[in-house]
Amino acid sequence: MIPGFVDPHTHICFARRRESEFELRLAGTPYLEILKQGGGILSSVKAVAETDEESLYSYSRGHVLSAISHGTTTMEIKSGYGLDTENELKMLRVIRKLGRDLPLEIVPTFLGAHAVPGKFRKKPDDYIDLIIDEMLPLVTDNNLAEQCDIFCEKGVFSVEQSRRLLQAAQKFGMGIKIHADEVHDLGGGGLAADLGALSADHLLAVSDENIKKMSAAGTIATLLPGTAYSLKKPYARARAMIEANLPVALATDCNPGSSYTESMPFIIGLAIMNMDMSPAEALTAATLNSAYAIDRAGMAGSLDRGKRADFLLLDGQSPAILAYHGGVSPVEEVYISGEKVIR
């Protein structure tokens, strides 16, 4: 018996898969090049705009149910395939409804700054203004998200734009997190430390200096090995982080582009086999540390007095089964709030 998995970073609310793009990437087209040509995240944006709220809900619900069957009992879900006020709010309403209808705990995150929409290609600062002046007030007034996130990356949003948005979000009382140093070492990890973010996520390219800074600031490093797997990139340096006393969390990053999986057992398997994490470290990263990364350590992440009774029964003698039984979920039974939800 282990605690239910806490998946602290997902984009599981989306309207269509991007299978043909996956094959393009396998044939050599880089991820950011596809985005530059108007595909990638922007193709998911088009799909969300073309999909009504009800269909977006039922497609997303299917993926969330699959995550539960793989042992996820608490999950963060980001918006970010809207990129205009109407569609960002539509996504956040769908995410809220999933949280109300399904037994697991869902933590909604506003990711209006996931990509620069076509209209703002030449003036990304104006898009940041629109987010701050129009979207943030609506999101917080309607209680649609707890945290604000941004994709800080070359060709997407700069460190300065990220700082401006995240400081504004903090003024609205939101928690903050950053897609940081995924492809290039821009310094997003350092910014997360400066601003007191809950987490910096990805960190495939983070510098040693910013690992130290995050460790001193108490930021969580949320690692997403499904992305390294799917983008065929070197994995994040989990050992260097753990040795620097930086708490590591694990998440699926479930999305139709860079990591199409809702399975925490798969992610834990990758962390153990490809990032040299021990089974005990990977289990802590996928439960207690990930609960801290989304501000849910008071209710989830460990089997403790006063927390919710979210737990799993595995078919195995130890959590090492999660890596040992490759590609197969050993999760036999899932309990949320003490109630059996699967099997």
Can you give the binding site for ligand NIG, defined by CB under 6 A?
Answer: 11, 40-41, 44, 151, 179, 182, 227, 253, 255-259
Asked if 105 interacts with Fe ion (CB under 5 A), we say no
Binding at 151: pick from Fe ion, ligand NIG, none (beta carbon under 5-8 Å per type)? ligand NIG
Residues 296 and 108: their CA atoms lie apart, in Å, by: 12
- Give the CB-nearest residue to ligand NIG: 257
Which residue from 177, 187, 287, 276 is spatially nearest to 221, judged by alpha carbons?
177
For Fe ion, which is the closer residue by CB, 49 or 231?
A: 231
Question: Is the CB of 107 or the CB of 341 nearer to Fe ion?
Answer: 107
Q: Which is nearer to Fe ion, 181 or 253 (CB)?
A: 253
Q: For residues 11 and 296, which CB has a smaller minimum distance to ligand NIG in the complex?
A: 11
Cα dihedral across residues 205, 327, 256, 143: positive or negative: negative
88 lines the binding site for Fe ion (CB under 5 A) = no
Structure tokens at 159: 């460190």
Q: Does 253 bind Fe ion (CB under 5 A)?
A: yes
Phi, psi of 202 (to 5 degrees): 90, -90
Number of residues that bind Fe ion (CB under 5 A): 1
Structure-block tokens of residue 125: 């600062």
**C-alpha distances in angstroms, 131 versus 20, 120, 135?**
31, 12, 5
Q: What are the structure tokens assigned to 132, written together? A: 């701050």
From ligand NIG, Fe ion, none, which one binds at residue 175 (CB under 5 to 8 Å depending on kind)? none
- Whose tokens are 């039984």? That residue is 325
Residue 214 vs 334, nearer CB to ligand NIG: 214
Q: Alpha carbon of 67 to those of 49, 53, 106, 252: distances in Å?
A: 25, 21, 12, 10
Residue whose pair of structure tokens reads 């109630």 in the numeric block? 339
Give the binding range for Fe ion (CB under 5 A) out of 61-69, 169-177, 206-214, 247-255.
247-255
Interface residue list for Fe ion (CB under 5 A)? 253
